[in-house]
Structure 1
Amino acid sequence: MDYFKKGAEIEISSDEDGFRGAWFAGTVVKPPAKKKNKTLVVVEYKTIMADESGANPLRETMDVLQLRPPPPRERSRTFQISEEVDAYYNDGWWEGVITEAHENSRFAVFFRTSREQLEFSENDLRLHREWINGNWVPPLEEEKVKTEEKSAVDVSSVFSEGTLVEVSSDEDGFQGAWFAATIVKVIGKDKLMIEYKSLRTDDDTDFLREEVDALHIRPYPPETVVVDRFNLLEEVDALYNDGWWVGVISKVLSRSCYVVYFRSTNEEMKFDHSDLRLHQDWIDGKWVKASQALEL
């Protein structure tokens, strides 16, 4: 909430047809104020006008869940084919995938939502990032290097055969989720063979096993204090499709039922209390609650 003070630079998402998946630059006009089950913010767009004259920027009252700070951007980078990017188009940033590299630093970008492919200059692209738990994922390249250096420890000193862990994935449709698994074998300093607790092989004859990089593994989260109820805007993990997905409580329906908003997919889903847990992050070898992570 500290990010959305009056005058703060922000990016705004929209639920309107034709605009889903895009982010538009704006500023905060009035800071967050609670109204019923929502926290609302008055914002002003920088590139979208209220009328055809183009003299008055559009102002709207938005749910705070549709806002984020402007993402960081590398001063210079070389984009690669298959890399996820945001492309500046029609006054906003739209998520796509680089499919072709052309001459003069131009790239073809495919947009899954519209099934279109358009060409952009390098200056109109940025690496796609998600705002998760008060942090940008992935971080800037220099920050990523620091993180990898911290994580580049001999995993044999941390994990052993039979250890219960959680595993993340970079595959489309699974990003942002953590799946319970057991260490089967430590292969090297940074590789492990794991067996999932809930994911099964294609023929459904056994639990899935695969070799995983140490950067995608963390210890199984510790038991947290039993929560009688979750609060509005509280960060939680929701159990869905055999994994734990990070989200935010967007509606409190009752003491045992909630609506959770997922930033990565811009979706809301209903969950029972028993399928939620307080969100924690594994940072520098320690478990940190979401409220603490925002302070780091």
Structure 2
Amino acid sequence: MTRIVETLSEISAQYDALFVDLWGCVHNGVHALPEAVAALQQYRKEGGKVVLVTNSPRPRAGVQKQLVHFGVPDDAWDTIATSGDSARSAMFLGTVGQKVWHIGYPGDDRFFEPLHLIEDPMTIEQVPLDQAEGIVCTGPEDPLADPSVMRPQFLYAKQKGLKLLCANPDIVVDRGDVREWCAGALAKLYTEMGGESLYFGKPHPPIYDLARRRLAALGRGISDDRILAIGDGVLTDIAGAMGEDIDSLFISGGLAASETKTGQQPDPNALTAYLQKEMSSPTYTIGQLR
């Protein structure tokens, strides 16, 4: 059973590094969450390392600019691992072919910028669906539209045997008070229709491999039993931590705030019922990161 804690500092001395989710934990899609920022700043002052592990389809540099926009200061984190970077690596290795049909926002075109970490990367060409060898999904074109609007295109893609590369496994996020669909919702629909979706963010192993490499690049070798994963998604952050055998801190006041009846802290009975329903077992739970 998960242990409810009041603050990160109550447990942080047990860990040398944090793998911290961003959306719903450090910011809400509009602005930084001050208590979360202060907690991470204090953890770093005490010698801990903070790796921001996000299912954003953006490259690391793009997420860093976004953090500045949201008001998350540089001294609250050490390095960043994004689902986008992990997925881009796979794309440039030819995982879904050279000619791809892109589903996403117009601003997601940076996903296709050259990646210099790979030797002899494939030249990727964006084409219409009827010419595509595969699909790259960085998110829905309209994050407020039900994913089912893609059924006609997905039926055609499935019949062609196209693989879908999902750059963000999140199903939904809350931008302030507005809930939006993410790429994971489209990949889930495509899979349910019989298509093949490939995932590179949480809870899947590639992003954790990237996070460990980012952590090692900071100059410290840290074992998994000294890493704590923090996030508000039981199907992504917590499931990923459980799969990697890493301790986890569940932020109940994020995506599951209503189910866990979280105000300052979750209602213990509601939290237990929710975690049992989701078959999730975080090591710790807190209402908000603080």
Interval of TM-score (by shorter of Structure 1 and Structure 2): under 0.3
Q: Using CA pairs under 8 Å that are at least 6 residues apart, name the structure with larger relative contact order, 1 or 2.
A: 2
Larger helix fraction of residues: 2
User: TM-score, normalization: structure 2?
Assistant: 0.25
User: TM-score, normalization: structure 1?
Assistant: 0.25
